[in-house]
Structure 1
Amino acid sequence: MNILVSAYLDNNIGDDLMIILLSKKFPEHNFYLTSSNSTVKRTFESFDNIIFHELDLSDKYLKKFSVFLSIGGSLFNDMNGILGGIRRIRRIRVLRLMKKKNIKIATIGCNLGPYKNSIGPLLTKIELKQNSLTTVRDKESFHLIQKFKKVKNYHLAPDIVYNLSNLYELPYGNQQNILGISAYRSTTNHEYNYSNYIFLASVSDKFIEQTGGIVRLFAFDTENENDLSSAYHIKENSLYPDKIQIIPYIGNYIDFIQLMSECSRFISIRFHSAILCEMLKIPFLPIVYSNKMDNYLDDLHFSGIRISINNIPKSSREIEEITACLIENQQIFNDFSNDHQLEFEKHFNELGKLLK
């Protein structure tokens, strides 16, 4: 079966893993992605059933497709402005066109929002009404869908990336005194970026001074969002740049995860850094830049420290206290007793029913 896929393609390990897991779960199907970015394409060169194409909405071209699948987390976070609303209306028109041509519509692995007005939920409801299947990854999104009339066949399941544990044996090589940080550069709230860099450099310095260890800065996205910029700013502002390593994701997800697994503690800003830390059993301090991290932590009943990206600690005392919590494994996420095994497969299991 030929399946049209809408996904976020930016050399982002979280989104790339979702596509890779989809490809491996359904090797009998072909997945058509749209991107002209040669760097993005390179990541998927070894997957025979991932095909890059230029989307053509003509009847002749669409005839060969049976499903239009949207996969990814933050698929509904761009409707708070006028341009975002216009783009969403155009997308809904395309979905309706495909539905008229008997192409099934599905959306899996997403969270809804955040929304700043009533337009976002309204457009989300209109879009999801076109779907034959919807799966979401947090309870807040699920409860919102429950309020939407005429949206059918929707399900709640933990993030798709948890399926990675079915793909290969995860490494558990936590070493002493390695602090990992998911570097992050906001493309929308630029005013908070530099204070974030200074804070992370300060915590890195305190960790190095008190443990004699090292710090690894992980760039989870290395294209347009460009976490590498953040990583270099953090290293530049550190007192111990020779003790700081920068680890970019450039399509090498196995090597990237291996280096993550060696960390003894982590500061998670990127959503999938938190997911991978939980899977790798690495205690982590969450820094929240979006509702998806808050919803994830709430679903796991986390009551420890969570720092908002727009309210970064600045005082020496706060930095000392946070570093102590990291080193002593206090008030950070360290509960790895949750067993998602029976739940996370639901995204693909429900999709499999649609593809029969």
Structure 2
Amino acid sequence: MRMLVNAYFAKNIGDDLFLKVLFDRYPDVEWYLLTSNKTYREIFSNYNNVVILRSLSVNFFGLRKVDVFSKINNLLNFWKYDGLVIIGGSIFMEGPDWKGFLTSKSILPDKLKKLNKKSFIIGANFGPFSDNDFVNSHKKYFSLFEDVCFRDFNSYSLFKDLKNIRVSTDAVFNLKKDDSNSIVMERSIGFSLINLEKREDLRNYNTVYNDKIVELVEYYSKLGFSINLFSFCEQEGDLSMCNNIKQRIGVEHKSKVKIINYNGNIDAFLVKYRSCDLIIGTRFHSIILALLYNINVFPIIYSNKTHNILNDLNLEGNGVFIKNMEKLKPENVIPIPNKIDIDKVCDEATNQFKALDLFVGKY
């Protein structure tokens, strides 16, 4: 079986984990990636079932948008493929030219539908948005798909009247865990950081966020912990943020601070991540990974998508909203209590792939 797959191809560890989970789950499917980003040939070089469609020219419609392609009808031989999977998280955000973007990204699933081929959306959340027309227009768009599975109930509730809409928890909970004893635990605190200067809606909190991260790093350093600053996506400014924090901390703490930048080596990044005693996480998937690996985690909530999934998992209450960080004191950083049955959560997360499993005949 040959399937097209579209995602956020920007070397973001969270989105690359979506792809890893997908490829691991269906080793007998040939996956054709709708990107000309050569990096992905390297990231998944050990997968014989992954092909980069190098001839396509990419148009990016906003930083967090799924890739779409110009003149797609002329570039793809649609008959060669059995269907399409779009897998990603924040891929339905309202932008200034959302109507034009929606028209563009409807081309591929519409063409496939007319050829009686199936398209699937896996792992997404919906929003943020301010225009109800944005919701209504996406109802028409979702009708092009065999199945749409959101990752939070808030997104699902907007479209639950549609028969092809479902909900399950985040797809990264399907990641195969290496339960070997090869992970060397360190007395370390991991920080997942984002660059607020690149986010218009959060830019006003940039100074407070930076100041508090510096304060927290120095606090845990004084307690004897080593510090790992994790950059999940260099393109979105995580690495520059990590470098900025390391520059700002006191000289006496610098030797204890390491920067771990995701460079496309998923396994190496996860080994470092799993070695931490505590994660203070801003990135959405920094929290998901901590829960998956049973690491204590304190969320810094910068988006409703984080708040919504914590709600769904009955883990609301711990953590801090980024807009309230000024009031945060280091001694009040209390991790999420370990009250979820992670095996049950992981089992439920397989439902993200329920419709695709049936389509490819996996189960």
Percent identity for Structure 1 against Structure 2: 28
Work out which of the residue numbers 80, 84, 91 in structure 2 matches 1:75: 91
Query: Quick one: structure 1 residues 40 and 59, their matched pair in 2 at CA, closer, same or farther if it must change by over 3 Å?
Result: closer
Letter in 1 for 2:247: E
Q: Partner of 1:32: helix, strand, or coil?
A: strand
Q: What are the within-5 Å matches in structure 2 for residues 307-326 of structure 1?
A: 307-313=320-326, 318-319=327-328, 321=329, 323-326=330-333
Whether 1:266 and 2:251 are equivalent positions in the alignment is no
| Residue equivalent to 2:46 | 46
Match of residue 78 from structure 2: 62
Using the alignment, how far apart are the partners of 2:276 and 2:75 within structure 1?
Answer: 52
User: How many pairs are equivalent?
Assistant: 339
Change in Cα spacing, 1:304 to 1:172, as seen in structure 2 (3 Å) is farther
More displaced, 68-77 or 41-50?
41-50
Q: 1:145 aligns with which of 143, 156, 159?
A: 159
Distance 2:182 2:139 in 1: 41
Report the Cα distance in structure 2 between the residues aligned to 1:174 and 1:336, rounded to whole angstroms. Answer: 25
1:348 aligns with one of 332, 344, 353? 353
How far residue 35 of structure 1 moved from its aligned partner, in angstroms, is 2.2
Query: 1:97 Cα shift?
Result: 2.4
Partner of 1:92: 106
Equivalent position amino acid for 1:67 in 2:
G
Match for 1:295: what amino acid? N
Amino acid in structure 2 at the alignment position of 1:50: V
Q: CA deviation at 1:173?
A: 5.4
Asked if the contact 2:86–2:122 (Cα under 8 Å) also holds between the matched residues in 1, the reply is yes
Q: Report the aligned-residue RMSD.
A: 2.2
Q: Residue 158 of structure 1 aligns to which amino acid in structure 2? A: T
Q: Secondary structure at the match of 2:126?
A: coil
Partner Cα separation in structure 2 for residue 17 and residue 296 of structure 1: 18
| 1:325 and 1:331 in contact (8 A); partners too | no
**Could you report, residue by residue, the CA deviation over 1:189-215 in whole angstroms, capped at 9, with x for unpaired residues?**
244334322211111111111x11111
Distance in 1, matches of 2:115 and 2:174, equals 32
Q: Distance in 2 between matches of 1:38 and 1:14?
A: 18
List gaps (5 residues or longer) in structure 1: none
1:179 aligns with 2:189: yes
Which piece of structure 1 moves more, 182-191 or 290-299? 182-191
Please show how residues 91-110 of structure 1 align to structure 2 within 5 Å.
91-110=105-124
Name the aligned partner's letter for residue 259 of structure 1: K
CA shift for structure 1 position 175 = 4.2
Moved more, 37-46 or 249-258: 37-46
**In 1: Cα distance, 2:134 partner to 2:233 partner:** 26
| 2:339 paired with 1:335 | yes
Shift in Å at residue 181 of structure 1? 0.5
- Structure 2 stretches lacking a partner, 5+ long: 57-71
Return the letter of the residue paired with 1:238.
I
TM-score (norm 2): 0.86
Secondary structure of 1:116's match? coil
Q: 1:190-229 maps to which residues of 2 (within 5 A)?
A: 190-209=203-222, 211-222=223-234, 224-229=235-240
Q: What SS is found at the alignment partner of 1:106?
A: strand
CA positional deviation for 1:59? 8.9
CA drift of 1:333 comes to: 4.7
Name the SS for the 2:255 alignment partner: helix
Contact 1:174 1:263 in 2 (8 A): no
